[in-house]
Structure formats: structure tokens, C-alpha cells
Amino acid sequence: MNGTKELIIEEARKIFTKYGFNKSSMSDIALAARKGRRTIYTYFTSKEEVFKAVIETEVSDLAEKLGVIMNDNIPADQKLRNYMYVRMNALKELTVYYNALREDFVNNLGMIENLRKDYDIMEIEMIRQMLDEGVTSGVFEIAEVQQVSRAILVAIKGFELPIFLAKDDYDYNQLIDPMIGLFFKGILTKHS
């Protein structure tokens, strides 16, 4: 990527974090990047496009962290556990995404969900790969891997609400192991 474009995205991230999406302007971004508005418009046609680039950068950083786990040569159950820990802790760093949600949930929801759609598809695929590995190695017994992958993603996304509500004292880590235990063992006794 071009250095000027990267600079604009980084400065826009700071502006969106500080002021939120609705209160930020292309002028604010230009000023922060020490560029003229014309330069900003050379790279981006609108504030929404800049915002999308910022979100894509944040999501790309998270995907890179999760990709490292995907390439680890460890059992699938441990890989899934590590994935959830890294994902939940990394989400706290997606400041622009969550600030935009908090700032104007209704007005930004459509735009944010469109941005998130591709990431959700990628994440379902990562989870499916881990589950497939587990099935192949005999660690997991799953009939509908694709459906279970989607169910796990929906459950994981449930953890995002406290981040969205800015509950800084919420300890995701203490809830991840019980959730994984539920996925791995279920809630029925062996005699049921």
C-alpha cells in the first residue's frame, strides 16, 4: 500500500476513535494527516470509504493474529481454545469498530454489518478448518461441521456485547473455558 494512503488511514483511525464516525469530517482527517483535502479525496471518495479502509485495516490485523493460530501445529481443541482467547482479547483493540457502534448504533449498523459480512465468512471458514482438523484427528465428533462453525461464531459474537457497551471490567477470559467446555462436552450427562 502507498505510504500516503497508510498515513491517511492511520490518522483517520485516531480521528474516528476520538470523535466517532458521525462527528468526524474529511477536513479533520486531512488536518491530522497533514495533507490537503484534495489529497484525501485522491485516495478516498467519501468519509464512509475512509472508515471502511480503517475497519478493513483493523480486521486485517486481527485476521493476521488468528492466522498464526491456524498455522500452529497443535491439536484442534487447543487451537480452538487459543483462537477464542486471541480473538476476544484482540477485539478490545478494534476501537474504531466499537466506537462507531456505540456512537450511533442505528445509523451505522447497516454499514458496519456490510463491512463485517466478509470477515464473518472468513471466520466461519477458520472455525470450520479447526473443526475439520479435529474430526479428522478423532478429537471431535461433529456431523454438521459447517452448521457448528456458524453456531460457534454466533456464540463468540455474543461475547462482543459487553465490549460494545464499554464494560471494561468484563473478564472474557474467565468465560472462554466454560464456553469451550460446553462446546466440547455439551450439557447432557452420558446417561441421558
Backbone dihedral angles phi then psi of residue 188, each to the nearest 5 degrees = -85, 145
**Domains of the chain with CATH codes:** 51-185 (1.10.357.10)
pLDDT exceeds cutoff 50 at 15: yes
Give the model confidence (pLDDT) of 109-156 as tens digits: 666 667 778 788 989 999 999 999 999 999 888 889 999 999 999 888
pLDDT of res. 7: 96
Give the model confidence (pLDDT) of 76-100 as tens digits: 989 998 998 888 777 766 655 566 5
Give the model confidence (pLDDT) of 17-65 as tens digits: 888 788 899 999 999 999 999 999 999 999 989 988 988 888 888 888 8
The 3-class secondary structure across the chain, one letter per residue, is CCHHHHHHHHHHHHHHHHHHHHHCCHHHHHHHHCCCHHHHHHHCCCHHHHHHHHHHHHHHHHHHHHHHHHCCCCCHHHHHHHHHHHHHHHHCCCHHHHHHHHHCHHHHHHHHHHHHHHHHHHHHHHHHHHHHHHHHHCCCCCCCHHHHHHHHHHHHHHCHHHHHCCCCCCCCHHHHHHHHHHHHHCCCCCCC
Q: How far apart are CA 12 and CA 30, in angstroms?
A: 8
pLDDT of res. 192: 47
